[in-house]
Amino acid sequence: MPELNFCILIGAVLFVSGVVCMATKRNAIGVLMGVELVLNAANLNFVAFARYTALGLDGQILSLFVIVLAAAEAAVALAIALNFYNNHLTIDVDRADDLHG
Amino acid sequence: MNIETLFNYLKSDLSTSLPAFSPELTICATILALLFARLFNVDRRGSLISPAGITLTGIGVAFVLSVVQLGKFTDSGSDQGSGMFTGLLLFDGFTAFFRVFLLVSIILIVWLTQLSGIPDREDGPDFFILLLGSTLGMMLMASANHMLMLFLAIEMTSVPSYVMVGFLKGRKTASEAALKYVVYGGGAAGVMLYGISLLAGLLGTAHLPEMAAQLAKIANDPALMSGPTLTTLAIAVVMILVGIAFKLSLFPFHFWCPDAFEGASAEVAGFLSVASKAGAFALLVRFCLAMVGEFTEIHATPAAMKQFNLQIGVVLGFVAAITATFGNLAAYSQTNMKRLLAYSTIAHAGYMLMAVSAMMIFLSLGDSNGAKRAIEGLLYYLMVYLVMNLGAFGIVALIRNEIFSEQIADYAQLAKSSPMLAVGMLICLFSLVGIPPTGGFVGKFMIFAAMFDAAEYQPIMYAVFVVGVLNTVFSLFYYLNVLRVMWIVPADESARTAEVPLASRSGAFVAVLSIAVIVTGTIFVAPVQQIAEQVTRLVSS
User: Which domains are delineated in chain A?
Assistant: 2-95 (1.10.287.3510)
Question: Is B206's Cβ below 8 Å from some Cβ in A?
Answer: yes
Residue in chain A nearest B263 by alpha carbon = A99
**Peptide bond just before B436 cis, omega within 30 deg:** no
Among B21-25, B449-453, B467-471, B531-535, the range scoring the smallest mean pLDDT is B531-535
Gap between the Cα atoms of B539 and B17, Å rounded = 19
Residues B327, B279, A43, CA angle at the centre, nearest 5°? 100
Question: Is A41's Cβ below 8 Å from some Cβ in B?
Answer: yes
**What integer pLDDT is reported at residue B317 of this predicted model?**
93
Q: Is A94 exposed, middle or buried (0-12, 13-18, 19+ CB in 10 A)?
A: exposed
Position B200, amino acid: A
Chain A residues near residue B152 by CB distance under 8 angstroms:
65, 69
Gap between the Cα atoms of B312 and B461, Å rounded = 13
pLDDT over threshold 90, residue B324: yes
Query: For residue B249, which of B142, B161, B125 has the smallest C-alpha distance?
Result: B161
Position B180, amino acid: K
Question: Is A98's Cβ below 8 Å from some Cβ in B?
Answer: yes
pLDDT over threshold 60, residue B105: yes
Give the pairing of strands B82-84 and B89-91.
antiparallel
Gap between the Cα atoms of B521 and A71, Å rounded = 46
Interface test with B, best of A33, A63, A87, A92 (most B CBs within 10 A): A87
Q: Is A33 exposed, middle or buried (0-12, 13-18, 19+ CB in 10 A)?
A: middle
Question: Is B229's Cβ below 8 Å from some Cβ in A?
Answer: no
Q: What is the per-residue pLDDT across B278-291, written as a single tens digit (0 to 9) for each?
A: 999 999 998 888 88
Gap between the Cα atoms of B517 and B523, Å rounded = 11
**What integer pLDDT is reported at residue B539 of this predicted model?**
60
Q: Which of B169, B186, B262 sits opposite A73 (nearest CB)?
A: B186
Chain A residues near residue B204 by CB distance under 8 angstroms:
49, 53-55
**What integer pLDDT is reported at residue B325 of this predicted model?**
93
Question: Is B259's Cβ below 8 Å from some Cβ in A?
Answer: yes
Distance between A2 CA and the closest CA of chain B, angstroms: 15
Question: Is A54's Cβ below 8 Å from some Cβ in B?
Answer: yes
Query: For residue B285, which of B145, B421, B448 has the smallest C-alpha distance?
Result: B145
Q: Which distant-in-sequence residues (6+ apart) come within 8 Å of B6 by Cβ?
A: none
Among A23-37, A75-89, B220-234, B373-387, the range scoring the smallest mean pLDDT is B220-234
Chain B residues near residue A41 by CB distance under 8 angstroms:
194
Contact criterion met (CB below 8 Å) for B55 and B146: no
**What integer pLDDT is reported at residue B301 of this predicted model?**
63
Chain A residues near residue B168 by CB distance under 8 angstroms:
none
Interface test with B, best of A8, A44, A47, A83 (most B CBs within 10 A): A83
Q: What is the per-residue pLDDT across B231-260, written as a single tens digit (0 to 9) for each?
A: 888 899 999 999 999 999 998 888 899 999
Q: What percent of chain A has pLDDT over 70?
A: 99
Question: B166 and A80 in contact by Cβ < 8 A?
Answer: yes
Chain A residues near residue B163 by CB distance under 8 angstroms:
76, 79-80
**What integer pLDDT is reported at residue A100 of this predicted model?**
73
**What integer pLDDT is reported at residue B538 of this predicted model?**
57
Per-residue pLDDT, averaged over B165-181, amounts to: 89
Among B55-59, B72-76, B387-391, B476-480, the range scoring the smallest mean pLDDT is B72-76
Question: A98 and B173 in contact by Cβ < 8 A?
Answer: yes
ipTM of the complex: 0.96
If one compares B340 and B369, the residue with the highest pLDDT of the two is: B340
pLDDT over threshold 80, residue B80: no
**What integer pLDDT is reported at residue A101 of this predicted model?**
62
Per-residue pLDDT, averaged over A61-85, amounts to: 93
| pTM of the complete model beyond 0.90 | yes
B296: number of Cβ within 10 Å: 10
Question: A55 and B155 in contact by Cβ < 8 A?
Answer: no
pLDDT over threshold 80, residue B498: no
Contact criterion met (CB below 8 Å) for B313 and B361: yes
Per-residue pLDDT, averaged over B97-124, amounts to: 89
**What integer pLDDT is reported at residue B541 of this predicted model?**
45
**What integer pLDDT is reported at residue B333 of this predicted model?**
87
Among B300-309, B389-398, B463-472, the range scoring the smallest mean pLDDT is B300-309
Q: Where are the alpha helices (DSSP H) in B365-460?
A: 368-403, 414-417, 419-433, 439-457
Output the average pLDDT for chain B.
87
